[in-house]
Amino acid sequence: MIDRRLILGGTRSIEKLAGRIWRRIFPAGRRRGRARASSLDLDKIGDPLPFGRMICCRRANLFRLCSCLRFLGYSMILIVATVVALSYYAVVVVAWGPLLFSARSSSSLAIFIVIIFHLLLILMTWSYVTVVVKDPGSVPENWRPVLDEESGQASEMDTASDANAERTSGTRYCTRCRNYKPPRCHHCSVCQQCVLKMDHHCIWVVNCVGARNYKSFCLFLMYAFLETCLDTVVLVPRFIKFFQEAQSHSTSPSNLAVVFLAFVLNLAFALSLLCFLIMHTSLLLSNTTTIEVYEKRGLPRWKYDLGKRKNFEQVFGTNRALWLFPLYTSDDQQSLSSLQALEFPTRPDDDG
Ligand SMILES: [Zn+2]
Ligand SMILES: [Zn+2]
């Protein structure tokens, strides 16, 4: 009898603990939001599915998996830090650092390589940290479209009719955040909020890439590509030399392994980053986000495309001196509408 009570008590404690962990991971607001969104989505569809199949759809809500991506993201930061630390050890400590103070002619080359390596590392880390910590762009609370105010509809729309606003007036409304969506804004199911000029949710930076951190993201891609290319190129001669010395057993096998691993990882990252860099350069110059690539399919012309120079300045700012840094002038921060991201300039032929 006592044993049974003990077992029952233990089971209840475990249930309480599991409940506490569940509530910590999914706070009440979010759980209600998801449930409401799920039911609203099904309300929109109507009820075309048999009851049993509808239950299956609710259970197989794929957006719940998005919450897992947030936890995966933190391990991605660890992976980035590990690759950087490994590359630093291979390039600076093992391969080129020992040549810095040698009397041979290779010392000047070693000094040059080590300086460039550190310069790129500082710029890459600065851009990366900025993307991770900077708000990608949150919609101001109770923001309403200007279009409605002009037509006198905004004051007439009460909270009850907000959910139907998208259908009745053509404005965009987020049923999860219970707020209007400015143009080019999208809801992120991982961050659980609407993001201004959302490009995509990036698990490598555990953040969304949006209007206010897209420049830092592009700079991170560029510096990471240059850094990995530099590492790959400068490790080749040292790797060949180490391999020759390893055959005569005059070099440490662990150092040879570290140099080899760093070479392979940097080569793989350089090739992947090159693809992303080409893709985002094309998107940047056409003033398109990754999401909008699908939205603009079939359109005769893209209304936000203002020409390559202006498209570039919309993201990188108008001050050339700051183009290579994840910074904006205070003038740009106040006057650049693409950073406020609530409304965007369009092509003159699309104004009407
Ligand atoms: Zn939203
Ligand atoms: Zn996100």
User: What would the pLDDT profile of 98-133 be if each residue is shown by its tens digit?
Assistant: 888 876 767 888 999 999 999 999 999 999 999 999
User: Residue 215 — very low, low, confident or very high, per pLDDT cuts 50/70/90?
Assistant: very high
User: And the tokens for 30?
Assistant: 């979010």
Per-residue pLDDT at 58: 43
From the CA of 208, how far away is ligand 2's center (Å)? 4
From the CA of 37, which ligand is nearest? 1
| Per-residue confidence (pLDDT) for residue 70, from 0 to 100 | 64
Q: How confident is the model at residue 201 (pLDDT cuts 50, 70, 90)?
A: very high
Mean per-residue pLDDT, 206-230: 96
Position 281 scores a pLDDT of: 96
Query: How remote is the CA of residue 105 from the centroid of ligand 1, in Å?
Result: 60
CA of 184 to the centre of ligand 2 (A): 15
The neighbourhood of ligand 2, an ion, using CB within 5 A, equals 188, 190-191, 201, 208
Through-space distance between the first and last CA atoms of the chain, rounded to whole angstroms:
81
pTM: 0.75
Ligand approaching nearest to the C-alpha of 188: 2
Q: Name the token pair of 245.
A: 């010395």
d(CA 300, CA 188) in angstroms, rounded, equals: 28
DSSP, collapsed to helix, strand or coil, labels residue 264 as helix
Of 189 and 1, the one with more pLDDT: 189
pLDDT band at 141 (very low <50, low <70, confident <90, very high): confident
- Identify whether the C-beta of residue 217 lies closer than 8 Å to the C-beta of residue 104: no
Coil/strand/helix, residue 12: helix
Looking at 22-36, 45-59, 188-202, which range is the least confident one?
45-59
3-class secondary-structure state, position 179: strand
Q: Which ligand neighbours the alpha carbon of 138 most closely?
A: 1
In Å, what is the CA distance from 249 to each residue of 202, 244, 246, 252?
45, 9, 5, 8
Residue range 83-102: mean pLDDT, rounded: 89
289 pLDDT band, cuts 50/70/90, is: very high
> Separation of 121 CA from ligand 1 center, angstroms?
36
- Separation of 194 CA from ligand 1 center, angstroms? 4
- Check 185, 191, 202, 229 and give the catalytic one: 202
Cα 189 to middle of ligand 1, angstroms: 8
Look at residues 283, 290, 120, 326 and name the one whose alpha carbon lies nearest to residue 195. Answer: 290
Virtual torsion, Cα 223, 212, 281, 207, nearest 10 deg: 70
pLDDT score recorded for residue 255: 82
Range of weakest confidence among 126-130, 181-185, 275-279: 181-185
Active site residue 202: yes
Among all bound ligands, the one having the nearest atom to the CA of 177 is 1
Provide the residue count of the chain: 352
Residue 70 Cα to ligand 2 middle (Å): 9
| Average pLDDT over the chain, rounded to an integer | 77
Whether the per-residue pLDDT at 15 is higher than 50: the answer is yes
